[in-house]
């Protein structure tokens, strides 16, 4: 099917020029080509002559009529956002997502994007509508959620262009708002960590000591079985748990593997093995009342939250503990060491997302810089 050479028509409605032209589109549900009439809102009469309006319409026609990669007609851009996401986006992406991840991503797209733009035609959604919506999300949700929503929008519209539903990308200059909610950067002190261990019950003290020392994710911690412990100084991470379902894989490629246990912690585990209800190889180290896997959410509500209230902490979660261990360890090893400790795939995740600055460490560093400078001056005076 050849390209159209139509000029379209110009009409003055009120104070503004409007252009009309025909566009061949493919109905995505039937694959049949049909012609639709397109209306283009052009400039004000006071700012644009009729000749300039015709030129603007020609440019629009050149950009919109049969200008897809294969030279064929566009798919029907009047397909709704919801239809496209459900029928053309989700089926492609869900093959790349793990089942649990797919549920979370799908739910977020449903709530943050389909609920807002679902009934609107893909071709009618412009940058202004998208940017104002992202700005609104920033007033209500966390940084990560807003950034994910923007990423999903860019991915959805990129796919719409790739499949020939659109020519222009309304997300090309979509920005992350500056007024994002500050991230939670709470870090505990060594004394606060010791207070947690001193206050916790026997089982919880050992569980939290293991989590603090090895910086385990809750999905790794609660999946531990006695077969994971070599009864010496090694713990093997071979599976994780998510929503009470065990998985033979971890969050990253480096999540699973062997971790070293200090002598004292290994001895505590051996003692707990003698005291726990079921020390058989397949039994969980820290089971629930029925001998099954503990739910991290329940543990957070039943153990961590009461501990935080008893110790007057703003919040106590496993994320706070991992961030604390990454931060407190920065004077004990290199970034690569801490990356290995947290088992991150990338060092920048460790440095930028987990490790926080320590005012006392910065102060000590400045003092050391001053001492080094003064040492140079002292040597000059001696000479």
Asked whether the beta carbons of 344 and 252 are under 8 A apart, the reply is yes
Sign of CA dihedral 236, 242, 244, 249: negative
DSSP letter string over 341-378?
A: HHT-S-HHHIIIII----HHHHHHHHHHHHHHHHHHHH
Question: What's the whole-number mean pLDDT along residues 269-279?
Answer: 93
How do residues 228-243 score in pLDDT, each as one tens digit?
999 888 889 899 888 7
What backbone phi and psi angles, to 5 degrees, belong to 239?
-155, 165
pLDDT digit string, tens, across residues 118-127: 999 998 899 9
Question: What was the pLDDT predicted at 344?
Answer: 64
Alpha carbons 287 and 57: distance in angstroms, whole number: 69
In tens, the pLDDT along 5-53 reads 566 788 898 888 888 888 777 777 777 777 777 788 888 888 888 888 8
- Kindly tell me the number of DSSP H helices and DSSP E strands found in the chain: 17, 8
Q: What is the pLDDT of residues 355-366, one digit of tens each?
A: 566 666 666 666
Q: Poorest-confidence range of 260-264, 298-302, 311-315, 346-350?
A: 346-350
What is the pLDDT averaged over residues 333-353? 66
* pLDDT tens column, 79-106: 899 999 999 999 988 878 877 788 889 9
CB 153 within 8 A of CB 174: yes
Could you tell me whether strands 33-44 and 234-237 are parallel, antiparallel, or unpaired per DSSP bridges? unpaired
Which H helix or E strand runs over 90?
A: helix 90-93
Yes or no: domain 190-354 corresponds to CATH 1.10.443.10: yes
| Average pLDDT of the chain to the nearest whole number | 83
Contact 25, 165 (CB under 8 A): no
The number of angstroms, rounded, from the C-alpha of 70 to the middle of its chain's C-alpha atoms is 34
According to DSSP, the β-strands at 257-260 and 234-237 are: antiparallel
81-162: what CATH class? mainly alpha
**Domain ranges (residues) in the chain:** 9-74, 81-162, 190-354
Distance CA 355, CA 333 (A): 12
pLDDT average, residue stretch 314-328: 88
Per residue in 215-225, pLDDT (tens digit) is: 888 999 999 99
Q: What is the mean pLDDT of residues 287-307?
A: 92
pTM: 0.60
Under the banding of pLDDT at 50, 70 and 90, the label for residue 63 is low
Rg from Cα positions in the chain? 30
Do 108 and 152 touch, CB atoms closer than 8 A?
yes
């Amino acid at each position: 099917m050849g390209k159209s050479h139509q000029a379209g028509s110009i009409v003055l409605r009120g104070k503004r020029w409007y252009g009309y032209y025909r566009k061949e589109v493919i109905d995505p549900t039937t694959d049949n080509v049909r012609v639709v009439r397109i209306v283009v809102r052009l400039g004000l009469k006071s700012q644009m002559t009729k000749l300039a309006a015709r030129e603007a319409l020609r440019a629009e026609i050149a950009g919109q009529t049969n200008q897809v990669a294969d030279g064929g007609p566009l798919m029907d851009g009047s397909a709704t956002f919801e239809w496209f996401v459900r029928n053309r986006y989700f089926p492609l992406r869900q093959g790349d997502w793990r089942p649990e991840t797919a549920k979370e991503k799908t739910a977020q797209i449903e709530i943050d994007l389909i609920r807002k733009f679902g009934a609107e035609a893909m071709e009618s959604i412009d940058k202004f509508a998208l940017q104002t919506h992202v700005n609104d999300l920033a007033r209500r949700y966390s940084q990560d959620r807003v950034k994910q929503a923007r990423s999903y929008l860019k991915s959805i519209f990129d796919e719409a262009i790739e499949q020939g539903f659109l020519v222009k990308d309304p997300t090309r200059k979509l920005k992350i708002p500056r007024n994002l909610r500050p991230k939670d950067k709470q870090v505990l002190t060594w004394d606060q960590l010791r207070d947690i261990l001193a206050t916790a019950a026997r089982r919880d003290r050992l569980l939290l000591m293991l989590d603090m020392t090895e910086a385990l994710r809750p999905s790794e911690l609660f999946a531990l079985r006695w077969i994971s412990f070599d009864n010496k100084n090694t713990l093997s991470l071979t599976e994780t748990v998510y929503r009470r379902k065990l998985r033979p894989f971890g969050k990253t490629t480096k999540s699973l593997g062997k971790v070293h246990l200090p002598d004292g912690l290994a001895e505590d585990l051996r003692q707990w093995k003698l005291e726990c209800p079921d020390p058989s190889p397949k039994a969980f180290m820290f089971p629930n009342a029925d001998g099954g896997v503990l739910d991290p959410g329940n543990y957070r509500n039943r153990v961590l939250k009461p501990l935080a209230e008893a110790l007057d902490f703003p919040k106590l979660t496993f994320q706070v503990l991992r961030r604390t261990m990454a931060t407190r360890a920065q004077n004990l090893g290199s970034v690569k060491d801490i990356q290995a400790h947290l088992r991150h795939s990338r060092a920048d995740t460790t440095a930028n997302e987990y490790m926080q600055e320590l005012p006392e460490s910065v102060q000590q560093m400045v003092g050391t810089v001053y001492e080094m400078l003064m040492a140079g001056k002292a040597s000059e005076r001696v000479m």
